[in-house]
Amino acid sequence: MSKYPIQKSEAEWKEKLTEEQYRVLRQKGTERPFTGTYNIHTENGTYTCMACDTPLFKSTTKFDSGCGWPSFDESIEGAIEYIRDTTHGMVRTEIVCATCGSHLGHVFNDGPTATGQRYCVNSISIDFEK
């Protein structure tokens, strides 16, 4: 875990994040679909990591996948780390913030746009800047 530029102790994360943010970002939880602030959100701007404020996705790459979580077809270059995830009897690719290691969601290669990628992100894991 020492590779991330931003590191905090569990106590520091708990102080910075709400209980639900901590559960998703630091304990790899998943928010309930269709509940997040940014699931249906179409303003122009940049989505940042809720834990460390690093820009992760541009609003121009956001699309409505119908899955109930904010979805993007591309990330900001270098912002995301990809981790093989074999939990829950599936082989998936987990996405975490490359700056602080916080859990964001998963990426799938069944995207409907030209990139073929579908970044499925917990709304609670991201913030928005206009």
Which amino acids are annotated catalytic? 120
From the CB of 95, what's the least distance to Zn ion, in Å?
Answer: 11
Cα gap 5→64, rounded to integer Å: 32
Report the residue number, 51 or 120, with the smaller CB distance to Zn ion: 51
Residues that bind Zn ion (CB under 5 A): 49, 51-52, 54, 97, 99-100, 102
Q: Which is nearer to Zn ion, 61 or 113 (CB)?
A: 61
**Residue 100 CB, nearest distance to Zn ion (Å)?**
3
DSSP string, 51-119: TT--EEEEGGGEE--SSSS-EES---TTSEEEEEE-GGG--EEEEEETTT--EEEEEES--SSTT--EE
Residue 55 vs 113, nearer CB to Zn ion = 55
**Whole-number Å distance between alpha carbons of 78 and 2:** 18
Minimum separation from the CB atom of position 110 to Zn ion (A): 26
